[in-house]
Amino acid sequence: MPVTIIIGSQWGDEGKGKIVDLLSQDADVVARYQGGANAGHTIVCNGRRTVLHLIPSGIFNPDCICLLGSGMVIDPVQLMDEIAMLQDIGITIKGRLFIGHRAHLVMPYHKLLDNLNERNRGDKAIGVTGKGIGPAYTDKYTRIGIRIADLFNRKTFRDKLEANIIAKNRIIHELHNEPKLDLDEIYDYYVKFDEKIDPMVKDISVYLNEAIDAGKNIICEGAQGTLLDVDWGTYPFVTSSNPTSGGALTGLGIGPTRIDKVLGLIKAYSTRVGEGPFPTEFHDDMDVLMRDAGDEFGATTGRARRCGWFDAVIARYSARINGVSKWALTKLDVLSEFDELKICTSYEYNGKRLKDFPVDLEVLTKVQPVYEEIIGWRQDISGIRNFNELPIAAKDYIKRIEQLTGTQVELISVGGERNQTIKV
């Protein structure tokens, strides 16, 4: 059985929640490999809308095991709230959700510092979610982070926590003039958290490799998107981890020879939340029209997403970086609202044609997209389940994306519900 990595190929918000929920109906394990509560995966089932920030979307399949990988940073408050929310709607968690013991914890000072740092950036703000993700990964890479495994030994945990709080209080109180954090209060909360999750903690690498050897069907679920990757995204307007396919290997403790497929998710148009360059962004009424048609508001922050035309330069880049096997094209139905569509095929900068995605932020900010115009189909396609029944113009649009990216589309989403999907 296959091991499939599912990645976002743009700036996130490509519909990973829905596609993972759909594919997990035939999966044995779904494992989230990076990020934290800054993700927002929306699942719509029988008219009920659920947003998950930490727990994999496979949780809605009662036969599926869900894993939180060691590449994640886990906020205990968000995790317990999410577990309670799922239990309230009848989802079984016991024996189905497990947490990697090497995963790092988001602490109260991470969230506080995240917001203070963003506030101090002023007009150079990055557009963070304020969930403490960046500071948590900072502590991880400066080797002062606190992991799930550190909770096992109370003395080790308290010693590490005390050293962190002393250092963080200097910044919080002396630099930002905010109240100091209380060691005992935080220590007691995390000890109680440890007692609640103790049966869920596992060596995720051992578990996954044994599942692969047993022939299980496994989905590795990423958060955010390729253009938000800390190494390959539009730095510094990125997240603090690796949403790209390579992050699945390090975040879950599995080797590259274990992977059978990388499914890249691309939206039929482009969106971005927060600051940073966006070559095909609308700067007219189309921004509002596309946002309203696609309900483009962030699942985590509620912020309005910036909208633009499909960017084949970005899609080609993402296919190369991730080794994308096939595309899942999402929100194609949204484009039914428009008579004429555009696809960006390349960029122009200083009179030169650029077919590859530039690394220089100044260049990326100033490039002019080169568009192809395509006739729209002006027909409701949300009820279509057979590729052959799609309007000719819609099939032409899909074919052109395949030609420009060199990668075939195998799945098309035409609505928010799980069953509003077309297999090609």
Degrees, nearest 5: CA angle 190-194-197: 135
Interstrand relation of 261-267 and 326-330 (parallel, antiparallel or unpaired): parallel
Return the number of other C-beta atoms located less than 10 Å from residue 351's C-beta.
Answer: 5
Q: How far is CA 42 from CA 50, 60, 307, 335, 341, in A?
A: 6, 12, 19, 20, 26
Of 49, 33, 53, 59, nearest in space to 41 by CA: 53
Evaluate the CA torsion angle 406, 411, 412, 416 in order and state its sign.
Answer: negative
- Among residues 41, 53, 104, 110, the one annotated as catalytic is 41
Cβ–Cβ under 8 Å, residues 207 and 67: yes
Q: Is 299 exposed, middle or buried (0-12, 13-18, 19+ CB in 10 A)?
A: middle
- Among residues 13, 21, 229, 311, the one annotated as catalytic is 13
Told to judge if 41 belongs to the known catalytic residues of this protein, a careful annotator would answer: yes
Question: Angle 183-197/154-169 helices, nearest 10 degrees?
Answer: 140
Helix (H) or strand (E) holding 330: strand 326-330
Instruction: Please report where in the chains the tokens 């044995």 appear, as a residue.
Output: 28
The three-class DSSP label of residue 374 is: strand
DSSP 8-state class, residue 256: G
Evaluate the CA torsion angle 42, 8, 256, 24 in order and state its sign.
Answer: positive
* DSSP characters over 215-230: T--EEEE--S-GGG-T
Told to judge if 284 belongs to the known catalytic residues of this protein, a careful annotator would answer: no
Give catalytic residue positions.
13, 41
